Chains A and B, each alone.
Chain A
Amino acid sequence: MVIEVGPALEMLLTPTNLLIILIAVPIGMVAGSIPGFTGTNTVALALPLTIPLNAETAIILMAAIYVGANYGGAIPAVLINTPGTTGAAATVLDAYPMTRNGEAAKALGISILASVVGGLLAAFALLVLIQPIADIAFLFGRPEFFVLALFGLVAVGVALGGNIRKGLIAGIFGLLLAAMSADPTTAQRRLDFGFFGLYDAVPFVPIIIGVFAISELFYLINQERVSRGDGDGPDITSYDGIIDGFKYVISRPIQVIRAVSIGTVVGALPGAGVSVANFISWIIAKNSSKDPDSFGEGNPDGVIASETSNNAVTAGALIPTLTLGIPGSGTTAVMLGALLLHGVQPGPRLLDNFGTEATAIMLSLLIANVVLLAFAFLISKYIVRVVLLPTRWLVPGILVLTIVGAFALRENMFDAGLMILFGFVGFLMREHDYPLVPLVLAVILGPIAEAAFLRSMLISSGEYGIFFESTVTRILWVLIVFALVWKPLSTRLKPYTPSIIS
């Protein structure tokens, strides 16, 4: 691996590349803010546009869109409880309650700076630590992925469920939903109810939009405005609230660094990516907090955890893409396609043969994040006004946007119907205290977990011992047991403190 910063900067700092970053970041932001229209979709749309460009400019264009889209997903998450991208799914947990409490601008400010700082630090980390992190990613084979997926689900289910069983039920329900599509090894139909839309894979984007956004509409229509704030304070429509958010992020360096580390490492694991990193980061932030109960109720640290990690993933996901030729996410898979399109052969030799180009791509993330900060700051004052609109105008608009968003992914109306169905399921779950996040995470992780399970079984000729052989799996099993036992045990062992009620 050759890091050539000087020549790379020379290559990067051309008027064309800078102009491309300047245009691509806002485009990514707008696209990312549309529910259902993922960063991968936007980058894929840009792929044909890169044909006349050279390889590094093509990837710089895509990386800038990716950075913009990853932040853009936070905008509807903060304002209308709708994650624009899967990476912002954990953002809604605390950002939207902040909005409802009249702190929309602060939440937006936190999401902006957390995203930018996450992206910047991860890009630096990428430059310095690319090789060691790639070595860690190498430790994760199929059995490790399966146990990691289980750990993720158990940790989320336990942390979010007021009742642990309800959290686990939500997660396992999601795993079974994800296993409804055709058998991955034989392609035989399973439980698709005769719908071709379920045959190939259970689409998780309509499910995410359904359980979060559609279920929220049932509540929103019964109130005047999204925000419960009075709307007169500087927090709502001026830059003051946004700057408050910036200050809050600056005052939480430990939380930021922790989320950056998680985002970079998880991003480097092929197949895990942005959808998983934000949840893991949020859970770890909650568990390390002195006030874990406030997470999910509008704790700004939850927004930092999610937003910092999901932008750090952009850099992390480039690690396996550049070092191994294995994309860390759907978006980097498209980027890899762009490299192939330009005659650059992906794989370990890529860095030896194209060290300067690879370094220029990594450095472009730094510039893209600076552009993101400026652009997001400038427009945030205006977009935050959405929460002051009467819900009688907002609700129909959100419904139309979510329908188009669900339709956009596969251009299939079945997905729109599925989204509505999961809106009802989400409402039912919320009414009876079943957390939504384990369900969403399980639907995302389900196919990864099942594929990892099946491959492990093939490798071991059906011996379950393969899931306990390596050090990594053993550590993960210990963590699973710890997660399952710790919460009930800590509740029982909590010393009795008499209430001081006169």
Chain B
Amino acid sequence: MTSIPTHEDGEQALSTAYVLISRLLFPALCLLLVVLYVEETYGDLAWRSLRYPYFVGALLTILVGSVVIEEVWTILRTKYTGTLTNDLRNVWDEWNKSIGIAVLMILYVALIEVVGFIISSFVIMLAIMYLAGERNWKAMIAITVVFLTCVYVLFVYGLDLVPPEGPLGI
């Protein structure tokens, strides 16, 4: 877990905007889900079908609302001295590999449907190993080939499962 770094005098070294955005991102996601749910269903479904999800949504709104108020109150009462640009630079320095793997994950899911499971897995495995610091290409290729062969045999022949195929039929 990351923790908010502080100066020795107790003042927090982050910017108000960064703390506000990062702490309220998940509550905002919850509230967005409630709003979208109501927007999609209100008037289209009978009330007896909506009782349960709306009850759940109302509970979520109340709890999230109370957390948001508490977070905002705490943030506004704290003196932050950092700048947003500096905070974003620190986030990049700390999490650049994680951001890289997040991008590669999205690319992987998109690639599988286009070029198939084996080719996309081969490319992504090499890319992640490189990102994680591996530079021995022979080892990277050997590990990838052996691993994918095992996975393919296990799933296709052992568990009778056909992963998505690309233009080459693999």
Contact = CB atoms under 8 A, between A and B. Distances in A.
Interface of A: 31, 34, 37, 41-42, 45, 163, 165-166, 168-169, 172-173, 175-177, 179-180, 183, 185-186, 188-191, 214, 217-219, 221-222, 390-393, 395-397, 399-401, 403-404, 407-408, 411, 413, 416-417, 420, 423-425, 427-434, 450, 453-454, 457, 462
30 contacts: A165-B67, A169-B60, A175-B56, A176-B33, A176-B34, A177-B33, A179-B52, A191-B41, A218-B98, A218-B101, A392-B134, A395-B128, A396-B128, A397-B147, A399-B105, A399-B108, A399-B128, A400-B147, A401-B151, A403-B112, A404-B151, A424-B102, A427-B98, A428-B25, A430-B1, A431-B2, A432-B22, A433-B1, A434-B26, A453-B52
Contacts of B13: none
B134 A393 contact: yes
Given A169-B30, A176-B37, A432-B26, A399 B60 contact: no
A396 B49 contact: no
Contacts of A427: 98
Contact of A408 (B51, B108, B155): B155
The number of chain B residues touching the other chain, given as a range, is: 35 or more
Provide the main secondary structure of the chain A interface.
helix
Contacts of A179: 37, 52-53, 56
Contact of B133 (A189, A214, A392): A392
B159 A408 contact: yes
Contact of A186 (B25, B45, B148): B45
B30 A180 contact: no
A428 B29 contact: yes
B52 A173 contact: no
A172 B27 CA distance: 12
B132 A190 contact: no
Interface string B40-59: 11001110110111001101
Given A190-B45, A411-B161, A417-B109, A176 B57 contact: yes
A37 B27 CA distance: 32
Nearest to A401: B151
Q: Give the 6 A-B residue pairs with the shortest CB-CB distance, closest first.
A: A392-B132, A396-B125, A218-B98, A396-B128, A179-B53, A392-B134
Given A169-B30, A172-B59, A428-B26, A408 B161 contact: yes
B134 A399 contact: no
Contact of A168 (B26, B63, B108): B63
Residue among A34, A37, A399, A433 with max Cβ neighbours from chain B (10 Å): A399
Interface of B: 1-2, 22-23, 25-27, 29-30, 33-34, 36-37, 40-41, 44-46, 48-49, 51-53, 56-57, 59-60, 63-64, 66-67, 95, 97-98, 100-102, 105-106, 108-109, 112-113, 117, 121, 124-126, 128-129, 131-134, 143-144, 147-148, 151, 154-155, 159-164
A190 B53 contact: yes
Contacts of B57: 176
A177 B147 CA distance: 35
A172 B162 contact: no
A393 B34 CA distance: 40
Contacts of A214: 105
Given A183-B49, A218-B102, A400 B60 contact: no
A228 B101 CA distance: 22
B129 A222 contact: no
A63 B164 CA distance: 31
A425 B64 CA distance: 16
Contact of B30 (A34, A173, A431): A173
A180 B36 CA distance: 10
A191 B50 CA distance: 12
Nearest to B155: A404
A404 B154 CA distance: 11
Given A172-B56, A183-B45, 17 more contacts: A165-B67, A168-B63, A172-B59, A179-B56, A185-B49, A218-B101, A221-B97, A392-B128, A392-B132, A399-B124, A400-B124, A400-B148, A404-B161, A420-B106, A423-B105, A428-B25, A433-B1
A37 B158 CA distance: 12
A233 B29 CA distance: 45
A169 B105 contact: no
Contacts of A425: 26, 29
A453 B63 CA distance: 22
A318 B7 CA distance: 60
A254 B42 CA distance: 51
Contacts of B25: 428, 432
A454 B23 CA distance: 36
B37 A191 contact: yes
A31 B131 CA distance: 30
Contact of A432 (B23, B34, B106, B147): B23
A188 B109 contact: no
A45 B56 CA distance: 37
A166 B106 CA distance: 28
Contacts of B98: 218-219, 221-222, 427
Contacts of B67: 163, 165-166, 169
Contacts of A420: 105-106, 109
B88 to A, nearest CB: 15
Contacts of A169: 27, 30, 60, 63-64, 67
Contact of B37 (A180, A218, A428, A454): A180
A191 B66 contact: no
Given A183-B49, A399-B124, A413 B29 contact: no
Given A37-B159, A173-B33, A214-B105, A165 B66 contact: yes
B152 to A, nearest CB: 10
A425 B154 CA distance: 30
Contacts of A189: 40
Given A408-B159, A411-B162, A221 B48 contact: no
Given A403-B108, A413-B109, A396 B64 contact: no
Nearest to B105: A420
Contacts of B23: 432
Contacts of B102: 218, 424
Nearest to B148: A400
